[in-house]
Structure 1
Amino acid sequence: MVCSGCIRNVIVQAGHIGQSAVRSVRLRAIYRSLNANIGLRYTWNRQFRGSVKMMVDTAKGEPIINVLPEKEDDGGYASGGWKSEDGKLSCGYSSFRGKRASMEDFYDVKMSKIDGQTVCLFGIFDGHGGSRAAEFLKEHLFENLMKHPEFMTNTKLAISETYQQTDMNFLDAERDTYRDDGSTASTAVLVGNHLYVANVGDSRAVISKAGKAIPLSEDHKPNRSDERKRIENAGGVVMWAGTWRVGGVLAMSRAFGNRMLKQYVVAEPEIQDQEVDEELELLVLASDGLWDVVPNEDAIALARTEEEPEAGARKLTETAFTRGSADNITCIVVRFHHEKVDPDPPNMEQA
């Protein structure tokens, strides 16, 4: 039996992670400035390098806050988290290259105010055949979505159209290359008290509702009866090559990119709308490096044992690694707090 603390040390050492004290001070200063300007509270994990971007949507004049650090250059190990100022929402993430030689997972969390309403966006992007498609999604998908003219009035339509348009944008950007990268996308968009979960590929979203694990996405596998029928109706073939694959090549039936299979492997998302009520406790988004070895019920049970979602995300990553996951492992845990919490209680000695 190996303790989680030991595993964490192994993970950190394997990632060759570090940062200078000067940079840490500068980054904390940026976080304090953002907190003062937009009313958000951030927590900073010293185990990773990063920066914070503030982008302005010129159409609406609203700031889009990228609250997570830039991706590790070496793809080793990173974790972190933040809380909303009102204490109603907290988030943690953990990302580990694992046993793979390269890192193809990307993750993103953004916040903005649109028409006076706070919007939160969470995403996991798992690349295959390279990292370019997943990185493109991190850089463009949520920005494109928030610029959609019907994002606030018809969010499902906006998500569907933005997914497919961003796929076309990526294929256009890569048209002169000899690569054929692809990527999954599992995203959650919180608008008011509505949570919209969209999925393309085999990354997955699972919620905890009254303690019960409920999947909000279904993996896009070629042997899924409806997916197989769609592919064959388009003139494609699903065949066994170690696992079920489209054309004997790709082990998922929907993805961004994958130009050579685009006629059959679409980027049209399946979307579920969930009302955020008092029974909704947690949301877990993760790449298949987690789900290959951790069932839905285990993931929720493990995440629920930790009060802080960052600790929950780290526990999930470590568990997947110790259970033998051979893939990159990335997850985001979002916790919903239904009673207003003061994230910074007053110092009684100074009162």
Structure 2
Amino acid sequence: MEEEARSFLGRFAEEFPAALKEGAPLPVSPLSRRVTLEELHGESLELGRRLLAARGAPAGLSALLCQAALSQLLQNDLSPFHCAREPGPNQEEEQEVVLLESEGVQRVFLNQLIEVTLAWSQDFPKHPPPPSQFLHCSVHSIKNTRRKMEDKHLSQDQCAYYAVFDGHGGVDAATYAATHLHVALSKQESLQSDASSALKMAFKHTDDMFRGKAKRERLRSGTTGVVVLIQRQQLSVAWLGDSQALLVRGGQAVTLMDPHKPDREDEKQRVEDLGGCITFMGCWRVNGTYAVSRAIGDFDQKPYVSGDADCVTTQLLGDEDYVLLACDGFFDAVEPSEVPHLVREALRRPDAAGLRVAQQLVCHAKEAGSSDNITVMLVFLRPLKQLVGQNSTTGATQQ
């Protein structure tokens, strides 16, 4: 690992031997034109991750470099990047919100990142903090027959955090959730003692943050989401909407969660108790609009489309094979009980090598009739060689 890290640092130092010159194009584009101080954290980390990942940085090293650069950025005086207040209908509501001009402040961040990377290339830390946990992950996404790709996903192996977001009405909400939810989670004081509570609060906080951006920029999109967090011997799943996570243990599919769909009896009752309705228009919809009953965003239908996530925590016993995260574009075409067989067959292919398993599952869902965006992520909880030789029969059990 150290040799790989040193090799990357050397290559990066050759490409970026000095700070970016004022006025020169940034090597990676900022996610937004303006950001709040709170959004700066997530957007800077994502910008740094993209820059380093495109150049082959090991994930653990990338996370450490970005955190070090962000820490230095936040010690700077950022007032020169404050945006002038623009007159508008929400000016009074937002008078306390400080907005920063993204390109300028991200130039400072990227220069801090270059500075840290150059320093490490010259004097590599003797004992950099190791990743807390590394699990093999296979992920694949396709636009399929849809006009736009609105799915987003994120895997943070250094903290065993994995997420799939399925956007609708545009990609803004999904991109926002993929950028900020894990940051919001990391700031929850209860994260180590009560992962379930921390995940729910992180979802809620991200929804609240996106509300401000949606109001400022007149965005109308929403996103479902499913997050898996593994800490010690506990696997926690939090979700909004109909993206799902499925655990496979000893070759058997274990149902962890019940997706939020408008026709789910308790969801239907919740919406109706609020004065809304569930109607069938090609599929079941909340107030004749959205086909999910919980989501980040969709503020024109709040509180009927709730921003409150559900969460379950499962004890890991050591015989778990993998956990699969996917959007409804996959699960609408593939039954959970089919997953163990499909994965086992994909692993047995001579060209699979573990990395292409998700791709094989995505192709199967498309061939089975899915026309939606499809994203599949598999997080393997045991060595792949053990799974290839597994001969258990497929089936589904309810936890």
Q: Same fold (TM over 0.5)?
A: yes
CA distance in 2, matches of 1:202, 1:334: 19
Q: CA deviation at 1:93?
A: 0.5
State which of 262, 267, 274 in structure 1 corresponds to 2:314.
Answer: 274
Q: CA deviation at 1:282?
A: 1.1
CA distance in 2, matches of 1:262, 1:127: 16
Describe the SS at the equivalent of 2:356: helix
Deviation string, structure 1 residues 43-76 (Cα, Å, up to 9, x no partner): xxxxxxxxxx733575xxxxxxxxxxxxxxxxxx
Deviation string, structure 1 residues 246-292 (Cα, Å, up to 9, x no partner): 00111111111001111111121111111122221110000111111
* Equivalent pair of 1:88/1:340 in contact (CA under 8 Å): no
State which of 332, 341, 344 in structure 1 corresponds to 2:377.
Answer: 332
For structure 1, the residue ranges without an aligned partner over 5 or more in a row are: 1-22, 39-52, 59-83, 113-118, 342-351
Instruction: Classify 1:303/1:179 alpha carbon distance in 2 versus 1 (closer, same or farther; 3 Å).
Output: same
1:105 equivalent to 2:145? Answer no
Q: CA deviation at 1:305?
A: 3.1
Instruction: Classify 1:102/1:151 alpha carbon distance in 2 versus 1 (closer, same or farther; 3 Å).
Output: same
* Equivalent pair of 1:124/1:286 in contact (CA under 8 Å): yes
- The two structures, once aligned, show a CA RMSD in angstroms of 3.0
Match for 2:220: what amino acid? D
Corresponding position of 1:31: 58
1:134 equivalent to 2:134? Answer no
For structure 2, the residue ranges without an aligned partner over 5 or more in a row are: 1-50, 72-129, 348-352, 387-399
Deviation string, structure 1 residues 169-200 (Cα, Å, up to 9, x no partner): 10111113443100001110011111100111
Pairing 1:217-236 to 2, within 5 Å after superposition:
217-236=257-276
Judge which range, 135-144 or 274-283, deviates more. 274-283
Q: TM-score, normalised by structure 1?
A: 0.71
Q: CA deviation at 1:152?
A: 1.0
* Equivalent pair of 2:262/2:278 in contact (CA under 8 Å): yes
* Equivalent pair of 2:267/2:293 in contact (CA under 8 Å): yes
State which of 58, 61, 66 in structure 2 corresponds to 1:54.
Answer: 66
Instruction: Classify 1:293/1:258 alpha carbon distance in 2 versus 1 (closer, same or farther; 3 Å).
Output: same
* Equivalent pair of 1:184/1:255 in contact (CA under 8 Å): yes
Q: Which has the higher strand share?
A: 1
State which of 299, 323, 329 in structure 1 corresponds to 2:368.
Answer: 323
Q: CA deviation at 1:26?
A: 7.4
1:297 equivalent to 2:324? Answer no
Q: CA deviation at 1:309?
A: 4.0
CA distance in 2, matches of 1:86, 1:157: 21
Deviation string, structure 1 residues 20-55 (Cα, Å, up to 9, x no partner): xxx999723x239939x97xxxxxxxxxxxxxx733
Match for 2:268: what amino acid? R
1:193 equivalent to 2:233? Answer yes
Q: TM-score, normalised by structure 2?
A: 0.63
Instruction: Classify 1:86/1:155 alpha carbon distance in 2 versus 1 (closer, same or farther; 3 Å).
Output: closer
CA distance in 2, matches of 1:305, 1:334: 17
Describe the SS at the equivalent of 1:184: strand
* Equivalent pair of 2:131/2:157 in contact (CA under 8 Å): no
Match for 1:120: what amino acid? A
* Equivalent pair of 1:124/1:285 in contact (CA under 8 Å): yes
CA distance in 2, matches of 1:24, 1:125: 23
Corresponding position of 1:42: none
Instruction: Classify 1:266/1:27 alpha carbon distance in 2 versus 1 (closer, same or farther; 3 Å).
Output: same
Q: CA deviation at 1:235?
A: 1.3
CA distance in 2, matches of 1:133, 1:25: 23
Q: Which has the higher helix share?
A: 2
Corresponding position of 1:310: 355
Describe the SS at the equivalent of 2:160: strand
Deviation string, structure 1 residues 285-343 (Cα, Å, up to 9, x no partner): 001111111111112321233445422111111111222211111111011127999xx
CA distance in 2, matches of 1:290, 1:172: 31
Match for 2:364: what amino acid? T
Q: CA deviation at 1:86?
A: 10
1:160 equivalent to 2:172? Answer no
Describe the SS at the equivalent of 1:202: coil
Match for 1:54: what amino acid? C
CA distance in 2, matches of 1:340, 1:303: 13
* Equivalent pair of 2:60/2:157 in contact (CA under 8 Å): no
Instruction: Classify 1:309/1:164 alpha carbon distance in 2 versus 1 (closer, same or farther; 3 Å).
Output: farther
Corresponding position of 2:136: 90
Judge which range, 172-181 or 300-309, deviates more. 300-309
CA distance in 1, matches of 2:355, 2:225: 21
